[in-house]
């Protein structure tokens, strides 16, 4: 089976063209392929499939085999992949996901793709949509997140997938490996959650580290950067256009007057290969 290995600021994926390759058990394949010793190694597996309502369907599987509703960094990678592999002549692409239709736009310099700007859609703020337990019509801003012997205050946002954003004075002081999985699987989150620790640098910049649902610590998270922007604006910490500094690089995010969040950043293809099935 042919594959392409791509990343968005270090958040890396194996991309498989499901229009050409026959894939049966996506979840099992994701666990095998994402293993960094016994497989190719990646944070996730992305399968391209046909769509009736968009140019393509993008299905995303975390390295633990769970399927995610949406993935921001993967949407940039897929947009570049379908253009450069000749699957579409378009630079404005639509992708059907479990979170709805996502619209990445390729940006060029001297005929080379330099970055991708993605319309991530509208953030979902009510507990029922995220989901977070409690009154489904209530927001979840600065709510207590109680672990056995630690209490955090989080702002929960969905970009189609759930995020719990916790503002701290120093992200480097957070033991993400210990705390991340406890919050990811807290009873507060019926479908688990991605966990972002955020240090506000000024009204236009934040530093964010992420423990991803189903994948653990990653170097970048596009939906996480988008949810972080929404949380920072809702708690009046930043303006509506910021740079998110992540371990793997920067993402630019903006909350437009149309209530859509736009996320921009690079997407790189690292290598192509053949995986025995
Ligand atoms: N682990 C995430 C999916 C990948 C999201 C992230 N890699 C991004 O760039 O948005 C989840 O289960 O919701």
Please tell me the distance between residue 170's alpha carbon and the centre of ligand 1 in angstroms: 23
Let me know if 164 is a catalytic residue.
no
* Averaged pLDDT, 169-189: 98
211: DSSP letter: E
pLDDT cut 90: percent of the chain above it: 99
Please report which confidence band the pLDDT of residue 20 belongs to, taking 50, 70 and 90 as the band edges: very high
Residue 13 burial by Cβ neighbours in a 10 Å radius (0-12, 13-18, 19+): buried
CATH code for the domain in which residue 75 is found: 3.10.310.10
What is the residue range of 40's domain? Answer: 2-119
pLDDT at residue 277 in the model: 85
> Residue 90: inside a domain, yes or no?
yes
Burial class (CB in 10 A: 0-12, 13-18, 19+), 223: buried
Question: Is a pLDDT exceeding 90 seen at residue 94?
Answer: yes
Point out the domain boundary residue: 100, 119, 138: 119
Task: Give the pLDDT band (50/70/90) at residue 106.
Answer: very high
pLDDT of residue 204: 98
261 touches ligand 1 (CB under 6 Å): no
Predicted confidence (pLDDT) at residue 28 exceeds the cutoff of 90: yes
How far the first Cα of the chain sits from its last, in Å, is 7
- Domain co-membership, 172 together with 224: yes
137 and 258 housed in the same domain: yes
**136 and 225 inside one domain:** yes
**Whether the Cβ atoms of residue 62 and residue 24 lie closer than 8 Å to each other:** no
**Mean pLDDT calculated for residue range 91-115:** 96
Number of domain units in the chain: 2
d(CA 220, CA 264): 13
Q: How much is the pLDDT for 85? A: 96
C-alpha distance from residue 186 to each of 60, 197, 208 (Å)? 23, 16, 21
- 180 close to ligand 1 (CB < 6 Angstrom): no
Total residues found in the chain within this entry: 277
For ligand 1, say whether the CB of 193 is within 6 Å of any of its atoms: no
pLDDT digits over 201-259, tens only? 999 999 999 999 999 999 999 999 999 999 999 999 999 999 999 999 999 999 999 99
**Ligand 1 mean position, distance from CA 110 (Å):** 31
The reply to whether 77 belongs to the active site is no
- Ligand 1 centroid–CA 194 distance in Å is 7
Give the CA distances from residue 247 to residues 52, 221, 244, in Å, rounded to whole numbers and listed in that order. Answer: 37, 10, 10
Q: Of 34, 71, 77, 164, which residue is the catalytic one?
A: 71
Residues whose CB is less than 8 angstroms from the CB of residue 173 and which lie 6 or more positions away in sequence, other chains included: none
The verdict on residue 271 lying in a domain is no
Residue 222 Cβ inside 6 Å of ligand 1? The answer reads yes
> Do residues 195 and 183 make contact, with C-beta atoms less than 8 angstroms apart?
yes
Residues 105 and 170 in one domain: no
What's the pTM value of the predicted model, to 2 decimals?
0.97
- Model confidence band, residue 170 (pLDDT cutoffs 50, 70, 90): very high
ipTM value, please give it.
Answer: 0.97
Whole-angstrom Cα distance, residue 227 to residue 121? 11
265 CB within 6 A, ligand 1 = no
Based on the fold, state whether residues 152 and 25 are members of the same structural domain. no
The minimum-distance atom of ligand 1 relative to the CA of 62 is: 1
Q: Is residue 276 in a domain?
A: no
Domain boundary among 69, 103, 119: 119
Task: Give CA–CA dist 98/213, Å, rounded.
Answer: 16
Residue 190 lies in a domain: yes
Å from CA of 173 to ligand 1 middle: 23
Query: Does 163 reside within a domain?
Result: yes
Question: In sequence order, which residues have a C-beta less than 8 Å from that of residue 108 and are 6 or more positions away?
Answer: 91, 114
Q: Given the CA of residue 8, which atom of ligand 1 is nearest to it?
A: 9
The tens digit of pLDDT for each residue in 32-60 reads: 999 999 999 999 999 999 999 999 999 99
The last residue of a domain, from among 72, 90, 119: 119
């Amino acid at each position: 089976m042919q594959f392409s290995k791509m990343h968005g600021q270090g958040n890396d994926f194996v991309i498989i063209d499901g229009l050409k390759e026959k894939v049966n058990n996506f979840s099992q394949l994701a666990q095998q392929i994402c293993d960094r010793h016994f497989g190719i190694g990646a944070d996730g597996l992305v399968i391209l499939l046909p769509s009736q309502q968009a140019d393509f369907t993008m299905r995303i599987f975390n390295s633990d085999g769970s399927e995610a509703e949406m993935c921001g960094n993967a949407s940039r990678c897929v947009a570049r992949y379908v253009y450069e592999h000749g699957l579409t002549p378009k630079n404005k692409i639509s992708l059907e996901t479990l979170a709805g239709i996502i619209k990445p736009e390729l940006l060029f310099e001297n005929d080379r793709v330099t970055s991708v700007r993605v319309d991530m859609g509208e953030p979902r703020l009510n507990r029922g949509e995220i989901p977070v337990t409690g009154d489904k019509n209530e927001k979840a801003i600065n709510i207590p997140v109680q672990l056995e012997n630690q209490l955090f205050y989080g702002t929960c946002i969905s970009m189609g997938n759930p995020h719990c954003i916790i503002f701290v004075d120093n992200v480097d002081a957070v033991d993400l490996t210990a705390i991340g999985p406890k919050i990811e699987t807290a009873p507060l989150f019926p479908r688990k959650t991605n966990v972002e620790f955020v240090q506000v640098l000024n009204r236009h910049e934040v530093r964010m580290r992420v423990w991803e649902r189903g994948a653990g610590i990653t170097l970048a998270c596009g939906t996480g950067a988008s949810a972080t922007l929404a949380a920072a604006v809702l708690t009046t910490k930043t303006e509506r256009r910021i740079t998110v500094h992540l371990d793997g690089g920067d993402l630019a995010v903006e909350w437009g007057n149309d209530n859509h969040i736009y996320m921009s950043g690079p997407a790189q293809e690292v290598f192509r290969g053949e995986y025995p099935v």
